[in-house]
Amino acid sequence: MAPVCFVLSYWCWRQYQALTPTCGTLLLLPEKNYIEVQSLTMNVTGRLMAATIWFDIQIELKLQDEHHLKQRVFIRRDAVRESDWRLLCRLMLNAR
């Protein structure tokens, strides 16, 4: 049982790492609920469909691109300026 839990935990951690950019550019267009995240490891663009705040330290964004494909990205609070964090939270509330 322990090896299964370890493998599952490791897989979840790798998924989280793959969906969390370590650096990059964040473009927000609040009037259109549009978000673009560009980094070395990912390029995600689309309209904000849903979002979840996890313990006030990160936001999980669920985006839909122009081809109607759904994508997820995690943004950590310490990775963006405080004003951008507030704007993300406001965008998240408007998307609901």
Q: Print the domain residue range for 53.
A: 2-95
Q: How far is CA 77 from the centre of its chain?
A: 11
Q: How, if at all, do strands 25-29 and 58-64 pair? A: unpaired
Number of structural domains the chain divides into? 1
Q: What is the pLDDT of residues 35-56, one digit of tens each?
A: 888 888 888 899 988 888 888 8
Q: Mean pLDDT, to the nearest integer, of 77-91? A: 84
Query: In sequence order, what DSSP letters do the residues of 8-72 get, joined into one string?
Result: HHHHHHHHHHHTS-SS-EEEEEGGGTEEEEE-SS-EEEEEEEEEEEETTTEEEEEEE-TT--EEE
pTM over 0.85: no
Tokens of 5: 């839990």
Confidence tier at 64 by pLDDT (50, 70, 90): very high
> What is the torsional sign of CA 25, 35, 71, 19?
positive
